Chain A
């Protein structure tokens, strides 16, 4: 028997009290761990969002978007300056053009339909199909009316942000290089299929023979009905030397987005519209930051509650055993030894609470996190949940118009270690007042009559 063993045994002197304390502590620790898990998961998601969707800047000629609006195009020289700006990782420049039936032997894979016919209202064609200008007659649409084919000249053939978006997957062939000036093209699957073209085939455009080097699938009909060519090639073939109609600037971190946007605006002046995705990102991140704050405060609150529980419990126990402490001192125990005994008792309570609390956290982290997300975002619960072994994951619902799926909350060994550490901090902090009381108890207490 030594002081540690005695302390541990003392923790079980009153089984009902021990049970009550352990249950309350378990709830406190369980909540603290759940909030820690939620906070970590949300923090990881925030970092993921910051490093992906939130760090791009769109640069367009002032007053123009695609084929709408007016003004002067940007230039490759200007884009080179932008690329040299601090924190800029890459600049994807594009020049868009359209091929009508007179420019190419390709046929559009998209039927005009209602939307296409409405667009015809702004054009007038002569009987041979030549576009002659805006039409005042909205009624007649030639039966052989066909939509133009979108051409995207780009120095980044993997980025379709300016060409309808989506994720580009090569179905066959090899992409052209970013600096190519050849008469080559990558065709969308729909366009290739409509015109029976494959890798190696040729078609006519701009009065030149263009070779198909790849077929891509962008995941949407609009992008799949267009074609991509090297930027320099389109600039040359369409007599728009050095022109750029749009650029997507990638910044190294969302933290540098604002400063980089300002720098680009300063560089390009009134010639360009510079729009960052920061507003959108902040909108996406705001609820996540809320969840993080709520979980942080809840974590702190739970730890403080746990420490308070232990504090009050140990004060109660010390007052209850005042006479016994006097006896221990009378028969030769030092203050330090008595404090160690009671601190061991406190640590025993807290560790028991931590073990049960960890089990509670494993079971409750999911529902608690779902509650946090749904109350912060206004959406319903999770879209997916999976579990297994000592680790489990939970996916969270969307936020408004932005997809925030895929927040994964896991309880790993680091969380368990934090839980243990928190338990020890609670035990030591909570028994501090009791320790002070112990030093104040005089051995003469033992002589007091009952």
Chain B
């Protein structure tokens, strides 16, 4: 509700993205992109209706099951990176695996592999986010999103806080990871030039999706 007016942020959205595909959703500010991502990633619950992801109705899941769903099935990449500031890059990537109950030795090894994959070398792996550039922080964030081998990665304006050159680099990285990790990546962006380089593009307009 906005005042006395009922606002449907997202309504009657249905789309299909194959496995390993890098898709983008574009739309103007206020079109409902972030809301759609929140709903897909079970960060929020719809006020009305159902959400079916990969054949599973996630609106019927209770709090603990939603938590488990996010932990195992979803990876998030945020516009502001959202790394934990007093943990190193390595510790940030290990975090989702700790929540998933992975043994310490295994999660450390996988975190190192993922950081290598996104181009964060040994010395930088032990730095805290405050000592990394924006692009480096976003790469750490991508590595974190891949930690538990999720089926779906949701990226909310992943290049929003980066310069164009770094932004392009991040998009290219996401593109290659979608193939190598066989993860479906859906990125929300308002940048049309970058969106055009994804495998699929959807346009969100007033809460409704056009292909």
Q: CB within 8 Å of B: which residues of A? A: 1-3, 6, 9-10, 13, 323-324, 327-335, 337, 442-444, 446-447, 450
**Chain A residues within an 8 Å CB radius of B144:** 331
Judge whether A1 and B43 touch: CB under 8 Å: no
Indicate whether A324 sits within 8 Å of B78 (C-beta atoms), given known contacts A444-B38, A447-B38: no
Complex formed: what's the CA distance from A170 to B176 in Å? 105
Indicate whether A327 sits within 8 Å of B84 (C-beta atoms), given known contacts A332-B67, A442-B44, A443-B44: yes
Interface bits B42-64 vs A (CB < 8 Å: 1, else 0):
11100000000000000000011
- State the Cβ distance, B137 to closest chain A Cβ, in Å: 13
Judge whether B43 and A443 touch: CB under 8 Å: yes
**Chain B residues within an 8 Å CB radius of A333:** 67, 99
| 4 A-B pairs with least C-beta separation | A332-B71, A444-B44, A332-B99, A443-B43
Interface size range on B against A = 20 to 34
Judge whether B82 and A446 touch: CB under 8 Å: yes
- State the Cβ distance, B107 to closest chain A Cβ, in Å: 9
Quick check: is B96 within 8 A (CB to CB) of the other chain?
Answer: yes
Quick check: is B91 within 8 A (CB to CB) of the other chain?
Answer: yes
Complex formed: what's the CA distance from A6 to B94 in Å? 12
Judge whether A330 and B76 touch: CB under 8 Å: yes
Query: A331-B95, A331-B96 provided; 20 other pairs, C-beta below 8 A?
Result: A1-B98, A324-B82, A327-B82, A327-B84, A328-B84, A329-B67, A330-B43, A330-B76, A331-B144, A332-B70, A332-B99, A332-B148, A333-B67, A334-B67, A442-B43, A442-B44, A447-B34, A447-B43, A447-B44, A447-B78
Interface bits B78-102 vs A (CB < 8 Å: 1, else 0):
1010101111000100111011100
Q: Which residue of B lies closest to A442 (CB)?
A: B44
Complex formed: what's the CA distance from A327 to B70 in Å? 11
Q: Which residue of B lies closest to A3 (CB)?
A: B98
18 A-B Cβ contacts within 8 A? A1-B94, A2-B98, A13-B86, A324-B85, A327-B78, A330-B41, A330-B43, A331-B96, A332-B71, A335-B63, A337-B99, A442-B44, A444-B38, A446-B76, A446-B78, A447-B34, A447-B37, A450-B80
Tell me the chain B residues, 9-37 only, with Cβ under 8 Å from chain A. Answer: 34, 37
Complex formed: what's the CA distance from A442 to B70 in Å? 13
Judge whether B37 and A330 touch: CB under 8 Å: no
Quick check: is B156 within 8 A (CB to CB) of the other chain?
Answer: yes
**Chain A residues within an 8 Å CB radius of B72:** 332
**Chain B residues within an 8 Å CB radius of A334:** 64, 67, 99
Complex formed: what's the CA distance from A328 to B94 in Å? 12
Complex formed: what's the CA distance from A324 to B63 in Å? 19
Residue of B82, B87, B96 with most partner-chain A CB within 10 A = B82
**Chain B residues within an 8 Å CB radius of A9:** 86
Q: Which residue of A lies closest to B76 (CB)?
A: A330
Q: Please tell me which one of the listed residues A1, A323, A330, A335 contacts residue B87 in the complex, with CB atoms under 8 A apart.
A: A1
Q: Which residue of A lies closest to B66 (CB)?
A: A443
Residue of A332, A333, A335, A446 with most partner-chain B CB within 10 A = A332
Q: CB within 8 Å of A: which residues of B? A: 34, 37-38, 41-44, 63-64, 67-68, 70-72, 76, 78, 80, 82, 84-87, 91, 94-96, 98-100, 144, 148, 156
Judge whether B71 and A331 touch: CB under 8 Å: yes
Complex formed: what's the CA distance from A324 to B85 in Å? 9
**Chain B residues within an 8 Å CB radius of A328:** 84, 95
**Chain A residues within an 8 Å CB radius of B71:** 331-332
**Chain A residues within an 8 Å CB radius of B99:** 331-334, 337
Judge whether B91 and A443 touch: CB under 8 Å: no
- State the Cβ distance, B196 to closest chain A Cβ, in Å: 25
- State the Cβ distance, B29 to closest chain A Cβ, in Å: 10
- State the Cβ distance, B156 to closest chain A Cβ, in Å: 6
**Chain A residues within an 8 Å CB radius of B82:** 323-324, 327, 446
Complex formed: what's the CA distance from A44 to B144 in Å? 61
Complex formed: what's the CA distance from A13 to B129 in Å? 14
Judge whether A331 and B76 touch: CB under 8 Å: yes
**Chain A residues within an 8 Å CB radius of B156:** 447
Q: Please tell me which one of the listed residues B42, B70, B85, B91 contacts residue A331 in the complex, with CB atoms under 8 A apart.
A: B70
Residue of A3, A13, A444 with most partner-chain B CB within 10 A = A444
- State the Cβ distance, B13 to closest chain A Cβ, in Å: 17
Complex formed: what's the CA distance from A52 to B82 in Å? 71
Complex formed: what's the CA distance from A13 to B70 in Å? 28
Complex formed: what's the CA distance from A447 to B77 in Å? 11
Complex formed: what's the CA distance from A332 to B65 in Å? 10
Residue of A2, A6, A330, A337 with most partner-chain B CB within 10 A = A330
Judge whether B43 and A332 touch: CB under 8 Å: no
Complex formed: what's the CA distance from A334 to B69 in Å? 12
**Chain B residues within an 8 Å CB radius of A13:** 85-86
- State the Cβ distance, A333 to closest chain B Cβ, in Å: 5
